[in-house]
Chains A and B, each alone.
Chain A
Amino acid sequence: MSETINLLLVGTWQTIYMVVVSTLIATIFGVPLGVLLMVTDKDQILHNEPLNKILGTIVNIFRSVPFVILLIVLIPFTRLLVGKAIGTTAAIVPLSVAAIPFMGRLTETALREVDRGVIEAAQSMGASPFQIITKVLIPEALPSIAAGVTITTINLVGYSAMAGVIGGGGLGDLAVRYGYQRFMLDIMLYTVAILVAMVQLIQFAGDVLVKHLSKNR
């Protein structure tokens, strides 16, 4: 029994570690990517057709590759970045690479919701594109961006289940190796229960955050 608990604790910790770190990285890179996608589009403040097309294409490519394949294809890149290709830390690289374009698109969509008139008002006051991004677009879209981070986090919980392919561990790996391959049904049930609780908790926390950010709006 204590062995089972130990397995579950380690698995839970590995999942939390992978999801938290890759969510952070996805947000740090994904939000600016989303900003670039939005502002370089047609009729936007920094319209740049070639850049917009290139970024859009790259994002689409990464989003169309199945995650299991991405895990393997990225092995050389992972080794270059963290010095090893297997393990929990190594799994963070493909998880982040998959989540950045996703977060980028969600941010882009959130920014598009900002009223054009407000952007025009800022322009009429002599705001620079950078000021419009930092003082208008991001603050106005912040609740939607926070909702996007919530969705990305939950998606990463799902992706992290595949981390076992490159020895990343985590709850999903536990369910496959013990629950499925060794027919340990109890471990299977426990891992699923923990994953369900984890997703519920993330969604709840995300909703509270969004509600707080959109207070009085």
Chain B
Amino acid sequence: MIYIRNLTKIYHSASGNVRALEDVNLSIEKGDIFGIIGLSGAGKSTLLRCINMLEKPTSGSIEIDGVEMTRLSPSELKEMRKKIGMIFQHFNLLSSRTVRGNVAFPLEIAGLDKRTIDKKVENLLELVGLSDKADNYPSQLSGGQKQRVGIARALANDPKVLLCDEPTSALDPETTLSILNLLKDINRELGITIVLITHEMNVIKQICNKVAVIEKSRVVEQGPLIEVFKKPQTETARNFLKSVTLSEIPKELKDRIENLSHEHLEGKIIKIAFFGEITTEPVISSIIRKFDVDTNILYGNIDHIQGMPYGTLIVELRGKNGETDAALKYLKDLGLDVEVIENV
């Protein structure tokens, strides 16, 4: 659907050249919700704007639906942009128009007749749940409602692609969730490919099926979300994942483990990270049954990405030496990611 090849963007300024993007390659397939995550200044915003040519790439190619974007004439580009919706962190609604007028705006630009516009606007407002606010002005809406208007407006010309520029960064957590769910519904029901940039791993985790990590103008890692969650390849990715998974043991727990080791008991404290179906297996009870060990669950959490459970357990295993080792081996053989934190 969207293929970005060797994309480079250099800003020329009096104080010298700034490389905003360096040799970026991305493949976004039809139906994807593709997340691009990076810290501010990493280049994600420039990358998103290169897709619809709001920023002209210095070199490289961007192909959308078989069309090479970098070679379009101004009028061809205008036509193409009508098929690429975009929503913004600060919504960018027209303050001079009502909700209805804002949603009608792209349809007026496309030159549709008033009857068609009115009908489409009604449907779009219904889709985003704002039919009762049609005659309100943006200043009378909450942030979440403004973003819904933005989404309705972006969908007006039946786009194939929706570009989202930090769509939830100005919203509170609850509103964020409702906007992300709306985007997910749009992706599923209308089959629109979504490209989303954010600095929050939580947003990626909620809706994306693929993710690219961008750092210092380069894409340093990309792939299916689950792969990146399971085996992050770069430090940057691991840092982002820290915010949504337990990769560090909470301090209180560390203190408790310290205390335990002072009690001179025999055993091990292990961390089990699990992913996917294995979560539904009763692993803990089966090691108790199969081996002569006692278990004590010190910490646990389970979350879901893409409907797949993943989580972390910290367990204290106590038993005769050979038995705890055998139990450990058994867990590893099940395909679990097991790590001994402390030999007590």
Q: A123-B54, A124-B52, A125-B157 are in contact. Are A217 and B86 (CB under 8 A)?
A: no
Residues of B with C-beta under 8 A to A135: 105, 108-109
Q: A120-B92, A131-B109, A217-B96 are in contact. Are A126 and B140 (CB under 8 A)?
A: no
Residues of B with C-beta under 8 A to A125: 81-82, 86, 105-106, 109, 153, 157
Residues of A with C-beta under 8 A to B108: 135
Q: Are A118 and B93 in contact (CB under 8 A)?
A: yes
Report the separation of the CA atoms of residues A124 and B84 in the bound assembly, to the nearest whole angstrom: 8
Q: Which residues of A contact B (CB under 8 A)?
A: 115, 117-118, 120-128, 131, 135-136, 139-140, 142, 216-217
Q: Are A126 and B79 in contact (CB under 8 A)?
A: yes
Q: Are B86 and A124 in contact (CB under 8 A)?
A: yes
> Which among A115, A124, A131 has the highest number of chain B CB atoms within 10 Å?
A124
Q: Which residues of B contact A (CB under 8 A)?
A: 52, 54, 77-82, 84-86, 88, 90, 92-97, 105-106, 108-110, 137, 139-140, 153, 157, 163
Q: Are A118 and B94 in contact (CB under 8 A)?
A: yes
Q: A121-B88, A217-B137 are in contact. Are A126 and B95 (CB under 8 A)?
A: no
Report the separation of the CA atoms of residues A146 and B298 in the bound assembly, to the nearest whole angstrom: 69
Q: A126-B80, A128-B78, A216-B139 are in contact. Are A139 and B109 (CB under 8 A)?
A: no
Q: Are A217 and B139 in contact (CB under 8 A)?
A: yes
Q: Are B92 and A117 in contact (CB under 8 A)?
A: yes
Q: Are A140 and B92 in contact (CB under 8 A)?
A: no
Q: Are A124 and B109 in contact (CB under 8 A)?
A: no
Report the separation of the CA atoms of residues A127 and B86 in the bound assembly, to the nearest whole angstrom: 13
A-B contact pairs, 30 of them (CB 8 A): A117-B92, A118-B92, A118-B94, A120-B54, A121-B86, A121-B88, A123-B81, A124-B84, A124-B85, A124-B86, A124-B163, A125-B82, A125-B86, A125-B106, A126-B77, A126-B78, A126-B80, A126-B110, A127-B78, A128-B109, A131-B109, A135-B105, A139-B94, A139-B96, A139-B97, A140-B94, A140-B95, A216-B137, A216-B139, A217-B139
User: What is the count of residue pairs linking A and B with beta-carbon distances less than 8 angstroms?
Assistant: 66
Residues of B with C-beta under 8 A to A140: 94-96
Q: Taking the nearest CB of chain A, how far is it from the CB of B48, in angstroms? A: 10
Q: Taking the nearest CB of chain B, how far is it from the CB of A185, in angstroms? A: 50
Q: Are A136 and B94 in contact (CB under 8 A)?
A: yes
Q: A117-B90, A125-B157, A139-B94 are in contact. Are A216 and B110 (CB under 8 A)?
A: no
Residues of A with C-beta under 8 A to B54: 120, 123-124
Q: Taking the nearest CB of chain A, how far is it from the CB of B20, in angstroms? A: 16
Report the separation of the CA atoms of residues A63 and B85 in the bound assembly, to the nearest whole angstrom: 44
Q: Look across to chain B and name the residue whose beta carbon is closest to the beta carbon of A118.
A: B92
> Which among A126, A216, A217 has the highest number of chain B CB atoms within 10 Å?
A126
Q: Are B95 and A217 in contact (CB under 8 A)?
A: yes
Report the separation of the CA atoms of residues A122 and B106 in the bound assembly, to the nearest whole angstrom: 8
Q: Look across to chain B and name the residue whose beta carbon is closest to the beta carbon of A143.
A: B96
Q: Which one of B82, B93, B94 contacts A126 once the chains associate, using CB atoms below 8 Å?
A: B82
Contacts A120-B92, A126-B106, A139-B94 aside, 11 further interface pairs with beta carbons under 8 A come to A115-B92, A117-B88, A118-B92, A121-B88, A121-B93, A122-B105, A123-B54, A125-B109, A128-B109, A140-B94, A140-B96
Q: Which one of A115, A121, A123, A216 contacts B140 once the chains associate, using CB atoms below 8 Å?
A: A216
Q: Taking the nearest CB of chain B, how far is it from the CB of A195, in angstroms? A: 35
Q: Which one of B81, B90, B94 contacts A124 once the chains associate, using CB atoms below 8 Å?
A: B81
Residues of A with C-beta under 8 A to B77: 126
> Which among A117, A121, A122, A125 has the highest number of chain B CB atoms within 10 Å?
A125
